[in-house]
């Protein structure tokens, strides 16, 4: 009789508290699922590219991937694939959708060089989880544009010049963060390319670059003239991977400094 009474009381208890018991079971299952998928995930190195082989193209414009070296800078523990993050970097492809820019006697144009290197930079950065948007020279999105940085890539004259006309140069907008971006870009570009800075050929058009006045005042921006198309042609074409790596590393240096 006592056993029947106990069974009856248990059934009464279960019926009365069914909703609470069901909630506890579902909550426990959910917590177990979250624990299994987010706790104890394997550690994967987040890397920064620092080495590689040169590219080949029209004189080497088509980028190729060579053997690359890496420097570990942190670890990320995660089992699920991460969705793309917010826009980090905008690269203006100098003269794209506007004109050819400087032109060499054999038909090589500045916009061909700028676009090839910009695309290599985009592949490099996005392989490391840094979203990149490529913009045209007078892209309508520049008006009020806001991001972590805007980098405009250009190349200098293809006229036959004295051998001393070799090297890169930069100008920046008035954002308080722009000097740090400029320092990172100049240091890393020089390191990867071996080019000297050539400040004596900076023009008013570079100083007052149109995009500087269009983008959000809080976004740092830099214009990089990557080299002279005649005297630095080998770097800008056959060895364009070195130039692209210098730009990418300059961008990463700035992002890590913030």
CATH number at residue 228: 3.40.630.40
Answer yes or no: do 242 and 181 share one domain. yes
Answer yes or no: do 143 and 207 share one domain. yes
Q: Provide the whole-model pTM.
A: 0.69
Question: How many Å apart are CA 232 and CA 107, to the nearest integer?
Answer: 16
Catalogue the long-range contacts made by 203-210 (C-beta closer than 8 Å, 24 or more residues apart).
206/169, 206/171, 207/171, 209/152, 209/171, 209/173, 210/138
Domain assignment of residue 76, yes or no: no
Which residue did the predictor score with more confidence, 164 or 33?
164
Report residue 118's pLDDT band, with 50, 70 and 90 as the boundaries. very high
Where in the sequence is the domain holding 17, given as residue range(s)? 2-38
Per-residue pLDDT at 55: 38
Answer yes or no: do 32 and 134 share one domain. no
HSE at residue 191, side-chain half, CA atoms within 13 A, is 15
- Contacts with 157 (C-beta within 8 Å, 6 or more apart), sequence order: 102, 165, 228, 229, 230
User: Averaged over 206-233, what is the pLDDT?
Assistant: 96
Answer yes or no: do 113 and 223 share one domain. yes
Question: How many Å apart are CA 214 and CA 210, to the nearest integer?
Answer: 7
Q: Where are the alpha helices (DSSP H) in 78-224?
A: 110-126, 178-193, 204-207
Answer yes or no: do 143 and 227 share one domain. yes
Domain assignment of residue 220, yes or no: yes
Residue matched to tokens 């692209």: 244
Percent of the chain with pLDDT over 90: 64
Domain assignment of residue 66, yes or no: no
Domain assignment of residue 203, yes or no: yes
pLDDT at 49 over 50: no
Per-residue pLDDT at 33: 59
pLDDT at 246 over 80: yes
Residue matched to tokens 């979203």: 131
Domain assignment of residue 15, yes or no: yes
Domain assignment of residue 62, yes or no: no
Answer yes or no: do 16 and 138 share one domain. no
Domain assignment of residue 28, yes or no: yes
pLDDT at 120 over 90: yes
Per-residue pLDDT at 19: 72
Closest CA to 135 of 127, 257, 147, 124: 147
Question: How many Å apart are CA 154 and CA 102, to the nearest integer?
Answer: 10
The mean pLDDT of the chain is: 81
User: What DSSP element (H or E) covers 43?
Assistant: strand 43-49
Percent of the chain with pLDDT over 70: 69
Q: Assess contact for 92 and 142: CB atoms under 8 A.
A: yes
Closest CA to 205 of 100, 101, 116: 101
Report residue 8's pLDDT band, with 50, 70 and 90 as the boundaries. low
CA distances from 70 to 2, 96, 249 (A): 74, 32, 12
Mean pLDDT check: name the lowest of 3-7, 111-115, 223-227.
3-7
Answer yes or no: do 198 and 146 share one domain. yes
Q: What is the pLDDT of residues 176-204, one digit of tens each?
A: 999 999 999 999 999 999 999 999 999 99
Mean pLDDT check: name the lowest of 7-16, 22-31, 41-50.
41-50
Domain assignment of residue 46, yes or no: no
pLDDT at 242 over 70: yes
Answer yes or no: do 18 and 131 share one domain. no
- Contacts with 123 (C-beta within 8 Å, 6 or more apart), sequence order: 63
User: What total number of domains does the chain contain?
Assistant: 2
Helix (H, G, I), strand (E, B) or coil at 150: strand
Report residue 93's pLDDT band, with 50, 70 and 90 as the boundaries. very high
Answer yes or no: do 243 and 123 share one domain. yes
Answer yes or no: do 106 and 19 share one domain. no
pLDDT at 107 over 60: yes
Helix axis angle, 2-16 to 18-38, nearest 10°: 70
Per-residue pLDDT at 42: 38
Cα dihedral 46→179→132→77 (10° resolution): 20
Answer yes or no: do 18 and 137 share one domain. no
User: Averaged over 43-49, what is the pLDDT?
Assistant: 36
């Amino acid at each position: 009789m006592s056993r029947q009474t106990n069974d009856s009381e248990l059934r009464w208890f279960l019926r009365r508290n069914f909703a609470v018991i069901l909630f506890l079971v579902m909550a426990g299952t959910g917590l177990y699922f979250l624990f299994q998928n987010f706790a104890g995930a394997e550690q994967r190195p987040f890397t920064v590219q620092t080495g590689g082989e040169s590219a080949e193209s029209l004189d080497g414009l088509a980028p190729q991937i060579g053997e690359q070296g890496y420097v570990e800078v942190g670890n990320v523990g995660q089992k699920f694939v991460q969705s793309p993050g917010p826009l980090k970097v905008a690269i203006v492809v100098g003269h794209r959708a506007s004109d050819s820019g400087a032109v060499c006697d054999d038909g090589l144009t500045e916009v061909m060089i700028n676009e090839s290197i910009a695309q290599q930079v985009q592949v490099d950065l996005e392989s490391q989880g840094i979203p990149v948007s490529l913009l045209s020279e007078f892209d309508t999105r520049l008006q009020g544009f806001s991001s972590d940085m805007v980098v405009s890539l250009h190349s200098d004259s293809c006229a036959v010049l004295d051998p001393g006309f070799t090297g890169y140069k930069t100008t920046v907008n008035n954002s308080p963060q722009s000097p740090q971006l400029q320092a990172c870009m100049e240091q890393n570009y020089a390191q990867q390319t071996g080019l000297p800075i050539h400040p004596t050929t900076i023009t008013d058009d570079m100083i007052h670059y149109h995009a500087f006045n269009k983008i959000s005042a809080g976004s740092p921006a830099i214009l990089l003239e990557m080299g002279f198309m005649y005297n630095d042609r080998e770097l800008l074409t056959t060895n364009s991977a070195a130039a692209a790596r210098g730009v990418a590393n300059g961008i990463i240096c700035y992002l890590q400094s913030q």
